[in-house]
Amino acid sequence: MDETIKKMLSGYELGLNAYRDRLGESNETLKKATGVFRKLCGLAESAGDMTSFYSNPEVTGLSADLSALLTELAKEKPARSSGTVPPASAAAAGYHLAYDQLPKEMGKTRAVYERIFEIEKSSENALVFTRAMAEEGLFLKMSAVALLEKEEGLRENAERLSLPVMVNYHEKANEIIPTARSIAELEYRTGLEAEVSIYQNLWDTALLNTTATLLGNAIAGWMLTQSEDERQEVENSYRFIADFYGLDFDALFGVPRIRDHFEKIVFESVKKDMAQKGTDSPEALLASFKAVVDTCLKGREPVATGPERNRKLVLWGIETDMAGLEKAYRTNFYKRL
């Protein structure tokens, strides 16, 4: 087991032992907390390192459950006279280890831990320390503040990389995290948004792969070789898109989602190379793409576009016009709740 994880679990164990002395072995909440602690220990044994341990969603859930149960234990009255209670430093040991692992840039999160250490110094024992943390809401605050700091800049980065689903996820996360009233609520709501974003990212990727990426790859192949095989790829790709989505070239790249991807990803990826050929803007690159399509279709049968209804897609069971995909990513799922 990783040494850092072992020390963190040791801090939990000391706290549970203190409650065992104070409340007795038969306490039901203590039994539940002990069971959760044992599951965490099992996951720690099988984890290869600290990173894989903390990135495991089951660890996140169990940690939240254990923190909630420790909060409940702090409020319970003793079943009998308390024996020797560990010092506050024993219960705080795991927090010191976690603090040492925090990047210096996470100043707000470090400040929460520093407040914990202030409580540690003023607490006569582990029980007083844990109770003070619960009363001040520090179990939740540790998670919430850290998540908010990790969110800084992620929405803007997703915008730059043309990832509207992730823009929506980070906006939702920044709304949820400060308003969550418990670790359980925080875990559930952010977990739900993560699941929604996973599905919508797959959906968005499938759309791009069967439109801009499909045609763009075919065009790039023809520009390199100008072979008949590559010409046929351009024709096949374009005819498929026109029929399946009901869009000609101008309408395809007039879809805001596809145009955004083209400008921020496709153009940016070839900008340096194409600038040497005089293609120095997204508009110029798009014009060169259209010229390739015209060349590859010259003398061929006219391309038939599918019916207008093909321009509407279904996301979360709701019909969505391709022009409004970004809004659909923000709203369609919630209309189903």
Mind listing the pLDDT tens digit for each residue in 153-163?
Answer: 999 999 999 99
Q: Are residues 16 and 128 in the same domain?
A: yes
- Asked whether residue 168 is domain-assigned, the answer is no
Please report how many Cα atoms fall inside a 13 Å half-sphere around the Cα of residue 67, on the Cβ side.
23
Distance CA 332, CA 73 (A): 42
Mean pLDDT of the chain: 89
In a domain, 323, yes or no: no
145 and 222: one domain? no
Domain count, the chain: 2
Is the pLDDT at 8 greater than 80? The verdict is no
End-of-domain residue from the set 152, 173, 202: 152
One-letter amino acid at 10 equals: S
| pLDDT band (50, 70, 90) for residue 202 | very high
Residue 107 has pLDDT above 90, yes or no: yes
User: According to the model, what pLDDT value does residue 20 have?
Assistant: 80
Q: At 318, which amino acid appears?
A: I
Is the pLDDT confidence value at 275 over 90? no
Among residues 181, 150, 201, 175, the alpha carbon closest in space to that of 333 is found at 201
In a domain, 290, yes or no: yes
Flag whether pLDDT at 312 surpasses 60.
Answer: yes
Q: Which whole number is the average pLDDT over 83-96?
A: 85
Q: How confident is the model at residue 41 (pLDDT cuts 50, 70, 90)?
A: confident
Note the pLDDT of residue 79.
61
* Per-residue model confidence (pLDDT) at position 96: 92
Q: Within 13 Å and on the Cβ side, how many CA atoms surround 80?
A: 9
Q: Let me know if residue 186 belongs to a domain.
A: no
Give ∠ CA 244-245-248 in degrees, rounded to 5: 110
Residues 289, 216 contacting (CB under 8 angstroms): yes
pLDDT of residue 120: 94
pTM of the model: 0.72
Q: Report the C-alpha gap between 305 and 302 in whole angstroms.
A: 10
Q: Whole-angstrom Cα distance, residue 186 to residue 63?
A: 13
119 and 25, same domain (yes or no): yes
* Same structural domain, 144 and 244: no
| Domain end marker among 152, 182, 199 | 152
Residue 177 in domain: no
- Cβ partners under 8 Å of residue 204, min gap 6: 164, 165, 257, 325, 329
Domain of 227, in residue numbers: 210-306
Within a domain: 313 = no
DSSP 219-269: HHHHHHH--HHHHHHHHHHHHHHHHHH---HHHHTTSHHHHHHIIIIIIHH
In this predicted structure, the answer to whether residue 7 has a pLDDT above a threshold of 70 is: no
Q: Averaged over 291-308, what is the pLDDT?
A: 95
Please report which confidence band the pLDDT of residue 83 belongs to, taking 50, 70 and 90 as the band edges: low
